Chains A and B, each alone.
Chain A
Amino acid sequence: MMGSPDPSTSEFVRRLVHERSAIVIDASKDYLVQSRLAPVARDAGLGGVDGLVEHLRRQPASPLRDVVVDAMTTNETSFFRDAAQWEALATHVLPELIERRRAQRTLTLWSAACSSGQEPYSIAMLMADRFPRVVAEWNVRIVASDLSAEMLGRAAAGRYSQLEVNRGLPAPYLVRYFRQVSGQWEVRDEVRQLVEFRALNLVEPWPGLPPVDVLCMRNVLIYFDAMTKRRVLSRVHDVLRPDGHLMLGTAESTLYSDERFRRVEFGRATTYQRRTA
Protein backbone atom coordinates (compact mmCIF):
# COMPACT_ATOMS: atom_id res chain seq x y z
CA MET A 1 0.00 0.00 0.00
CA MET A 2 1.21 3.53 -0.81
CA GLY A 3 0.89 5.31 2.53
CA SER A 4 1.82 8.95 3.03
CA PRO A 5 5.22 9.52 4.59
CA ASP A 6 5.42 10.66 8.20
CA PRO A 7 5.22 14.50 8.44
CA SER A 8 8.70 14.60 9.97
CA THR A 9 9.94 12.61 6.96
CA SER A 10 8.63 15.25 4.54
CA GLU A 11 10.08 18.00 6.73
CA PHE A 12 13.50 16.27 6.69
CA VAL A 13 13.42 15.92 2.89
CA ARG A 14 12.39 19.57 2.39
CA ARG A 15 15.23 20.74 4.65
CA LEU A 16 17.78 18.45 2.98
CA VAL A 17 16.79 19.63 -0.51
CA HIS A 18 16.98 23.26 0.58
CA GLU A 19 20.38 22.81 2.20
CA ARG A 20 21.86 21.08 -0.83
CA SER A 21 20.21 22.95 -3.69
CA ALA A 22 18.54 26.06 -2.19
CA ILE A 23 15.35 24.81 -3.82
CA VAL A 24 12.24 25.40 -1.75
CA ILE A 25 9.69 22.61 -1.86
CA ASP A 26 6.40 23.85 -0.55
CA ALA A 27 4.68 21.72 2.09
CA SER A 28 1.71 21.48 -0.29
CA LYS A 29 3.94 19.40 -2.55
CA ASP A 30 4.50 16.70 0.06
CA TYR A 31 2.95 14.18 -2.31
CA LEU A 32 6.15 14.49 -4.38
CA VAL A 33 8.13 13.08 -1.47
CA GLN A 34 6.17 9.84 -1.70
CA SER A 35 5.93 9.62 -5.50
CA ARG A 36 9.55 10.45 -6.22
CA LEU A 37 11.31 8.78 -3.30
CA ALA A 38 9.38 5.51 -3.10
CA PRO A 39 11.32 4.09 -6.10
CA VAL A 40 14.61 5.25 -4.52
CA ALA A 41 13.72 3.54 -1.23
CA ARG A 42 12.70 0.39 -3.07
CA ASP A 43 15.90 0.24 -5.12
CA ALA A 44 17.94 0.70 -1.95
CA GLY A 45 15.99 -2.02 -0.14
CA LEU A 46 15.02 0.37 2.64
CA GLY A 47 11.34 -0.47 2.87
CA GLY A 48 9.58 2.80 2.12
CA VAL A 49 10.28 6.52 2.25
CA ASP A 50 10.26 6.64 6.07
CA GLY A 51 12.95 3.95 6.09
CA LEU A 52 14.99 5.88 3.52
CA VAL A 53 14.89 9.04 5.63
CA GLU A 54 15.73 7.08 8.78
CA HIS A 55 18.82 5.81 6.93
CA LEU A 56 19.82 9.39 6.00
CA ARG A 57 19.34 10.58 9.57
CA ARG A 58 21.73 7.92 10.80
CA GLN A 59 24.20 8.28 7.92
CA PRO A 60 24.22 11.91 6.78
CA ALA A 61 27.10 11.30 4.33
CA SER A 62 25.35 8.39 2.60
CA PRO A 63 25.56 8.51 -1.20
CA LEU A 64 21.78 8.20 -1.15
CA ARG A 65 21.65 11.82 0.00
CA ASP A 66 22.48 13.11 -3.50
CA VAL A 67 20.15 10.59 -5.08
CA VAL A 68 17.31 11.93 -2.95
CA VAL A 69 18.11 15.56 -3.86
CA ASP A 70 18.27 14.58 -7.54
CA ALA A 71 14.94 12.82 -7.40
CA MET A 72 13.26 15.78 -5.71
CA THR A 73 14.63 18.53 -7.95
CA THR A 74 14.16 17.11 -11.43
CA ASN A 75 11.79 19.16 -13.54
CA GLU A 76 9.43 18.27 -16.30
CA THR A 77 10.91 19.33 -19.60
CA SER A 78 10.37 18.89 -23.31
CA PHE A 79 11.99 19.83 -26.61
CA PHE A 80 11.23 23.40 -27.71
CA ARG A 81 9.11 24.04 -24.62
CA ASP A 82 7.19 27.34 -24.99
CA ALA A 83 7.07 27.70 -28.76
CA ALA A 84 6.82 31.53 -28.73
CA GLN A 85 10.18 31.86 -26.97
CA TRP A 86 11.89 29.62 -29.52
CA GLU A 87 10.36 31.59 -32.34
CA ALA A 88 11.69 34.80 -30.77
CA LEU A 89 15.11 33.21 -30.41
CA ALA A 90 15.18 32.03 -34.03
CA THR A 91 13.79 35.12 -35.72
CA HIS A 92 14.92 38.03 -33.51
CA VAL A 93 17.43 37.29 -30.77
CA LEU A 94 19.91 35.09 -32.65
CA PRO A 95 19.90 36.94 -36.00
CA GLU A 96 20.52 40.21 -34.15
CA LEU A 97 23.32 38.76 -32.01
CA ILE A 98 24.93 37.10 -35.02
CA GLU A 99 24.93 40.44 -36.83
CA ARG A 100 26.59 42.10 -33.82
CA ARG A 101 29.23 39.36 -33.46
CA ARG A 102 30.40 39.33 -37.08
CA ALA A 103 33.81 40.62 -36.09
CA GLN A 104 34.44 38.31 -33.10
CA ARG A 105 32.69 35.27 -34.68
CA THR A 106 32.01 33.93 -31.21
CA LEU A 107 28.66 33.01 -29.70
CA THR A 108 28.04 31.46 -26.28
CA LEU A 109 24.71 30.01 -25.23
CA TRP A 110 24.11 28.54 -21.80
CA SER A 111 21.29 26.23 -20.78
CA ALA A 112 21.32 26.43 -16.98
CA ALA A 113 19.56 23.58 -15.18
CA CYS A 114 19.33 21.58 -18.40
CA SER A 115 17.73 18.54 -16.75
CA SER A 116 17.65 15.62 -19.21
CA GLY A 117 19.03 17.74 -22.07
CA GLN A 118 16.04 18.68 -24.19
CA GLU A 119 16.77 22.39 -23.92
CA PRO A 120 20.46 22.43 -24.95
CA TYR A 121 19.75 19.99 -27.79
CA SER A 122 16.87 22.20 -28.91
CA ILE A 123 19.33 25.11 -29.03
CA ALA A 124 21.86 23.00 -30.94
CA MET A 125 19.28 21.80 -33.48
CA LEU A 126 17.97 25.31 -33.99
CA MET A 127 21.50 26.62 -34.58
CA ALA A 128 22.36 23.76 -36.95
CA ASP A 129 19.15 24.21 -38.94
CA ARG A 130 18.82 28.00 -39.08
CA PHE A 131 22.43 29.14 -38.85
CA PRO A 132 24.55 26.34 -40.34
CA ARG A 133 27.33 28.65 -41.53
CA VAL A 134 27.70 30.19 -38.08
CA VAL A 135 27.89 26.70 -36.55
CA ALA A 136 30.46 25.59 -39.13
CA GLU A 137 32.67 28.67 -39.18
CA TRP A 138 32.34 30.44 -35.83
CA ASN A 139 33.30 29.49 -32.32
CA VAL A 140 29.84 28.51 -31.06
CA ARG A 141 29.68 27.19 -27.52
CA ILE A 142 26.51 25.66 -26.13
CA VAL A 143 27.05 24.98 -22.44
CA ALA A 144 24.55 22.78 -20.60
CA SER A 145 24.72 22.58 -16.83
CA ASP A 146 22.78 20.86 -14.11
CA LEU A 147 23.05 20.22 -10.41
CA SER A 148 22.25 16.56 -10.79
CA ALA A 149 25.01 14.20 -11.91
CA GLU A 150 22.42 11.61 -12.88
CA MET A 151 20.57 14.10 -15.07
CA LEU A 152 23.80 15.27 -16.71
CA GLY A 153 24.64 11.67 -17.53
CA ARG A 154 21.23 11.22 -19.12
CA ALA A 155 21.55 14.49 -21.01
CA ALA A 156 25.00 13.67 -22.34
CA ALA A 157 23.81 10.24 -23.50
CA GLY A 158 21.14 11.98 -25.57
CA ARG A 159 18.73 9.04 -25.69
CA TYR A 160 15.01 9.66 -25.45
CA SER A 161 11.85 7.59 -25.37
CA GLN A 162 9.16 7.80 -28.02
CA LEU A 163 7.02 9.77 -25.59
CA GLU A 164 9.79 12.32 -25.06
CA VAL A 165 10.48 12.93 -28.76
CA ASN A 166 6.74 13.15 -29.39
CA ARG A 167 6.62 16.31 -27.27
CA GLY A 168 7.44 19.64 -28.92
CA LEU A 169 10.06 18.34 -31.34
CA PRO A 170 9.30 19.16 -34.99
CA ALA A 171 9.12 15.92 -37.00
CA PRO A 172 11.63 17.17 -39.61
CA TYR A 173 14.14 17.67 -36.78
CA LEU A 174 13.42 14.22 -35.39
CA VAL A 175 14.22 12.47 -38.67
CA ARG A 176 17.21 14.70 -39.36
CA TYR A 177 18.96 14.93 -36.00
CA PHE A 178 18.11 11.61 -34.32
CA ARG A 179 18.60 7.96 -35.08
CA GLN A 180 16.62 5.05 -33.75
CA VAL A 181 18.51 2.70 -31.46
CA SER A 182 16.63 -0.27 -30.03
CA GLY A 183 13.31 1.44 -29.49
CA GLN A 184 14.80 4.75 -28.40
CA TRP A 185 15.81 7.90 -30.25
CA GLU A 186 19.42 9.03 -29.97
CA VAL A 187 20.71 12.51 -30.80
CA ARG A 188 23.14 12.30 -33.72
CA ASP A 189 26.78 13.16 -33.06
CA GLU A 190 26.65 16.28 -35.25
CA VAL A 191 24.23 17.80 -32.73
CA ARG A 192 25.59 16.20 -29.58
CA GLN A 193 29.10 17.44 -30.18
CA LEU A 194 27.83 21.03 -30.24
CA VAL A 195 26.89 20.78 -26.56
CA GLU A 196 29.33 20.69 -23.64
CA PHE A 197 27.95 19.37 -20.37
CA ARG A 198 29.13 20.39 -16.94
CA ALA A 199 28.02 19.94 -13.35
CA LEU A 200 27.12 23.25 -11.79
CA ASN A 201 25.15 24.22 -8.71
CA LEU A 202 23.53 27.60 -9.38
CA VAL A 203 23.75 28.60 -5.72
CA GLU A 204 27.50 27.99 -5.57
CA PRO A 205 30.22 29.89 -7.52
CA TRP A 206 30.24 29.54 -11.33
CA PRO A 207 33.89 29.10 -12.23
CA GLY A 208 35.20 29.34 -15.77
CA LEU A 209 32.08 30.48 -17.58
CA PRO A 210 32.76 32.75 -20.57
CA PRO A 211 30.58 35.85 -21.08
CA VAL A 212 27.20 34.57 -22.25
CA ASP A 213 25.14 35.82 -25.20
CA VAL A 214 21.98 33.81 -24.52
CA LEU A 215 21.24 32.38 -21.10
CA CYS A 216 18.27 30.02 -20.76
CA MET A 217 17.35 29.70 -17.10
CA ARG A 218 13.78 28.60 -17.44
CA ASN A 219 11.61 27.35 -14.62
CA VAL A 220 14.50 27.38 -12.17
CA LEU A 221 14.09 30.61 -10.21
CA ILE A 222 10.56 29.63 -9.17
CA TYR A 223 12.09 27.01 -6.90
CA PHE A 224 14.37 29.45 -5.06
CA ASP A 225 13.55 31.62 -2.08
CA ALA A 226 13.70 35.41 -2.59
CA MET A 227 17.24 35.86 -1.29
CA THR A 228 18.69 33.03 -3.39
CA LYS A 229 16.82 34.30 -6.43
CA ARG A 230 18.40 37.74 -5.99
CA ARG A 231 21.85 36.22 -5.55
CA VAL A 232 21.50 34.05 -8.66
CA LEU A 233 20.18 36.97 -10.75
CA SER A 234 23.08 39.11 -9.60
CA ARG A 235 25.49 36.48 -10.96
CA VAL A 236 23.48 36.26 -14.16
CA HIS A 237 23.94 40.00 -14.51
CA ASP A 238 27.70 39.57 -14.17
CA VAL A 239 28.01 36.75 -16.68
CA LEU A 240 25.56 38.04 -19.32
CA ARG A 241 27.01 40.23 -22.06
CA PRO A 242 25.64 43.80 -22.10
CA ASP A 243 23.62 43.00 -25.24
CA GLY A 244 22.94 39.37 -24.30
CA HIS A 245 19.52 37.94 -23.52
CA LEU A 246 18.25 36.08 -20.47
CA MET A 247 15.32 33.74 -21.09
CA LEU A 248 13.15 32.75 -18.16
CA GLY A 249 10.13 30.45 -17.89
CA THR A 250 6.86 31.95 -19.03
CA ALA A 251 5.61 32.24 -15.43
CA GLU A 252 8.80 33.86 -14.12
CA SER A 253 10.03 37.41 -13.95
CA THR A 254 13.08 39.27 -12.72
CA LEU A 255 10.91 42.30 -12.00
CA TYR A 256 10.73 42.15 -8.24
CA SER A 257 14.12 40.56 -7.80
CA ASP A 258 16.57 42.66 -9.73
CA GLU A 259 16.01 46.11 -11.11
CA ARG A 260 19.10 45.90 -13.25
CA PHE A 261 17.22 43.95 -15.96
CA ARG A 262 14.68 45.22 -18.42
CA ARG A 263 12.01 43.27 -20.27
CA VAL A 264 12.23 42.94 -24.04
CA GLU A 265 9.03 41.85 -25.80
CA PHE A 266 8.90 39.84 -29.01
CA GLY A 267 5.22 39.19 -29.69
CA ARG A 268 4.12 36.69 -27.04
CA ALA A 269 7.68 36.06 -25.88
CA THR A 270 9.74 37.97 -23.34
CA THR A 271 13.48 38.09 -22.74
CA TYR A 272 15.52 40.16 -20.31
CA GLN A 273 18.54 42.32 -20.96
CA ARG A 274 20.86 44.24 -18.67
CA ARG A 275 19.82 47.83 -18.28
CA THR A 276 22.41 50.17 -19.70
CA ALA A 277 24.11 52.11 -16.93
Chain B
Amino acid sequence: MRALIVDDSRATRAVLRRLLHGLSFDGIAEAGDGRQALEELSANGPADVALVDWNMPVMDGLEFVSRVRSDTANDVMRIVMVTTEADADHMVSALEAGADEYAMKPFTAAVIRDKLALLGVV
Protein backbone atom coordinates (compact mmCIF):
# COMPACT_ATOMS: atom_id res chain seq x y z
CA MET B 1 0.00 0.00 0.00
CA ARG B 2 1.21 3.49 -0.84
CA ALA B 3 0.44 6.68 1.03
CA LEU B 4 1.05 10.38 0.51
CA ILE B 5 1.35 12.66 3.55
CA VAL B 6 0.73 16.35 2.86
CA ASP B 7 1.46 18.62 5.83
CA ASP B 8 3.68 21.65 6.34
CA SER B 9 4.69 20.44 9.81
CA ARG B 10 7.66 18.11 9.65
CA ALA B 11 6.79 16.78 13.11
CA THR B 12 3.25 15.85 12.05
CA ARG B 13 4.57 14.18 8.90
CA ALA B 14 6.97 12.13 11.04
CA VAL B 15 4.16 11.03 13.38
CA LEU B 16 1.93 10.03 10.47
CA ARG B 17 4.79 8.26 8.72
CA ARG B 18 5.52 6.13 11.79
CA LEU B 19 1.85 5.36 12.16
CA LEU B 20 1.40 4.31 8.51
CA HIS B 21 4.59 2.29 8.66
CA GLY B 22 3.08 0.36 11.57
CA LEU B 23 0.02 -0.33 9.41
CA SER B 24 2.18 -2.01 6.75
CA PHE B 25 2.30 0.80 4.21
CA ASP B 26 5.48 0.34 2.21
CA GLY B 27 5.67 3.37 -0.06
CA ILE B 28 5.20 6.57 1.93
CA ALA B 29 5.77 9.91 0.16
CA GLU B 30 5.71 13.33 1.83
CA ALA B 31 4.95 16.86 0.68
CA GLY B 32 5.07 20.15 2.60
CA ASP B 33 2.23 21.84 0.68
CA GLY B 34 -0.40 21.21 -1.98
CA ARG B 35 1.85 22.28 -4.87
CA GLN B 36 4.60 19.82 -3.89
CA ALA B 37 1.97 17.13 -3.45
CA LEU B 38 0.64 17.68 -7.00
CA GLU B 39 4.21 17.39 -8.31
CA GLU B 40 4.62 14.13 -6.41
CA LEU B 41 1.41 12.81 -7.98
CA SER B 42 2.41 13.75 -11.51
CA ALA B 43 5.84 12.13 -11.00
CA ASN B 44 4.73 8.88 -9.34
CA GLY B 45 0.99 8.59 -9.91
CA PRO B 46 -1.75 8.41 -7.28
CA ALA B 47 -1.13 6.65 -3.94
CA ASP B 48 -3.77 4.43 -2.32
CA VAL B 49 -4.46 7.10 0.26
CA ALA B 50 -3.47 10.73 0.93
CA LEU B 51 -3.54 12.30 4.40
CA VAL B 52 -3.94 16.04 3.81
CA ASP B 53 -3.59 19.02 6.15
CA TRP B 54 -5.80 22.04 5.49
CA ASN B 55 -3.72 25.11 6.34
CA MET B 56 -0.45 25.12 4.40
CA PRO B 57 1.58 27.77 2.55
CA VAL B 58 1.66 27.99 -1.29
CA MET B 59 -1.39 25.75 -1.83
CA ASP B 60 -3.77 24.74 0.95
CA GLY B 61 -5.35 21.33 1.41
CA LEU B 62 -8.78 22.25 0.09
CA GLU B 63 -7.40 23.51 -3.21
CA PHE B 64 -5.17 20.45 -3.45
CA VAL B 65 -8.19 18.16 -3.01
CA SER B 66 -10.19 20.08 -5.65
CA ARG B 67 -7.34 19.80 -8.15
CA VAL B 68 -6.78 16.12 -7.44
CA ARG B 69 -10.46 15.40 -8.00
CA SER B 70 -10.52 17.32 -11.30
CA ASP B 71 -8.30 14.59 -12.79
CA THR B 72 -10.02 11.21 -13.05
CA ALA B 73 -6.63 9.48 -13.04
CA ASN B 74 -6.64 10.16 -9.29
CA ASP B 75 -10.05 8.60 -8.61
CA VAL B 76 -8.42 5.53 -7.08
CA MET B 77 -6.78 7.61 -4.35
CA ARG B 78 -8.75 7.96 -1.10
CA ILE B 79 -8.28 11.29 0.67
CA VAL B 80 -8.43 11.91 4.42
CA MET B 81 -8.23 15.51 5.61
CA VAL B 82 -6.21 15.68 8.85
CA THR B 83 -6.58 19.18 10.23
CA THR B 84 -7.12 21.45 13.21
CA GLU B 85 -10.21 22.87 11.46
CA ALA B 86 -12.89 21.28 13.62
CA ASP B 87 -16.23 22.63 12.54
CA ALA B 88 -19.00 21.22 10.40
CA ASP B 89 -18.68 23.93 7.72
CA HIS B 90 -15.07 23.03 7.00
CA MET B 91 -15.99 19.37 6.97
CA VAL B 92 -18.79 19.89 4.46
CA SER B 93 -16.49 21.95 2.21
CA ALA B 94 -13.83 19.24 2.26
CA LEU B 95 -16.31 16.44 1.52
CA GLU B 96 -17.89 18.46 -1.29
CA ALA B 97 -14.44 19.12 -2.78
CA GLY B 98 -13.88 15.37 -2.87
CA ALA B 99 -12.26 14.33 0.41
CA ASP B 100 -13.47 10.90 1.53
CA GLU B 101 -12.85 11.26 5.26
CA TYR B 102 -11.99 13.89 7.82
CA ALA B 103 -9.92 13.55 11.01
CA MET B 104 -9.55 16.40 13.47
CA LYS B 105 -6.27 17.25 15.17
CA PRO B 106 -5.22 16.33 17.75
CA PHE B 107 -5.59 12.73 16.66
CA THR B 108 -4.54 9.42 18.15
CA ALA B 109 -3.24 6.42 16.23
CA ALA B 110 -6.65 4.80 16.66
CA VAL B 111 -8.37 7.76 14.96
CA ILE B 112 -6.26 7.43 11.81
CA ARG B 113 -6.52 3.64 11.83
CA ASP B 114 -10.34 3.87 12.14
CA LYS B 115 -10.53 6.33 9.24
CA LEU B 116 -8.41 4.12 7.01
CA ALA B 117 -10.54 1.13 7.98
CA LEU B 118 -13.70 3.05 7.04
CA LEU B 119 -12.21 3.58 3.59
CA GLY B 120 -11.19 -0.07 3.31
CA VAL B 121 -7.53 0.89 3.02
CA VAL B 122 -6.36 -1.19 6.01
Shortest beta-carbon distance, A75 to chain B, in Å? 15
A167 beta carbon closer than 8 Å to chain B: yes
Partner of A175, one of B86, B95, B111: B95
Question: Given A171-B91, A172-B95, A179-B88, is A162 in contact with B114 using a C-beta cutoff of 8 Å?
Answer: no
Chain A contributes a number of interface residues (CB within 8 A of B) equal to 16
B71 beta carbon closer than 8 Å to chain A: no
The answer to whether B111 touches A174 (Cβ under 8 A) is no
The answer to whether A167 touches B102 (Cβ under 8 A) is no
A255 beta carbon closer than 8 Å to chain B: no
B118 beta carbon closer than 8 Å to chain A: yes
A163 to B105 CA separation, bound complex (whole angstroms): 9
A39 beta carbon closer than 8 Å to chain B: no
Shortest beta-carbon distance, A217 to chain B, in Å? 22
A78 to B114 CA separation, bound complex (whole angstroms): 10
Specify the chain A residue showing the minimal Cβ separation from B91: A175
The answer to whether A83 touches B95 (Cβ under 8 A) is no
Q: Which of B69-114 contact A (CB under 8 A)?
A: 86-88, 91-92, 94-95, 99, 101-104, 107-108, 110-111, 114
Question: Given A168-B118, A171-B91, is A162 in contact with B102 using a C-beta cutoff of 8 Å?
Answer: no
Output the residue of B101, B108, B111, B114 with the most chain A CB within 10 A.
Answer: B114
A83 to B118 CA separation, bound complex (whole angstroms): 7
Output the residue of A171, A172, A178 with the most chain B CB within 10 A.
Answer: A171
Shortest beta-carbon distance, A85 to chain B, in Å? 12
Q: Mark A58-85, 1 if CB is under 8 A from B, else 0.
A: 0000000000000000000010100100
A78 to B111 CA separation, bound complex (whole angstroms): 10
The answer to whether B91 touches A174 (Cβ under 8 A) is yes
The answer to whether A175 touches B107 (Cβ under 8 A) is no
- Using a CB–CB distance below 8 Å, which chain B residues touch chain A? 86-88, 91-92, 94-95, 99, 101-104, 107-108, 110-111, 114, 117-118
Pull 20 A–B residue pairs with CB atoms less than 8 Å apart, ordered by A.
A83-B114, A83-B118, A162-B86, A162-B104, A163-B108, A166-B103, A168-B114, A168-B118, A170-B101, A171-B91, A171-B94, A171-B95, A171-B99, A171-B101, A171-B102, A172-B95, A174-B102, A175-B88, A175-B91, A180-B88
* Pairs A-B, 10 closest by C-beta atoms: A171-B102, A168-B114, A83-B117, A166-B111, A175-B91, A175-B88, A171-B101, A175-B92, A166-B104, A167-B114
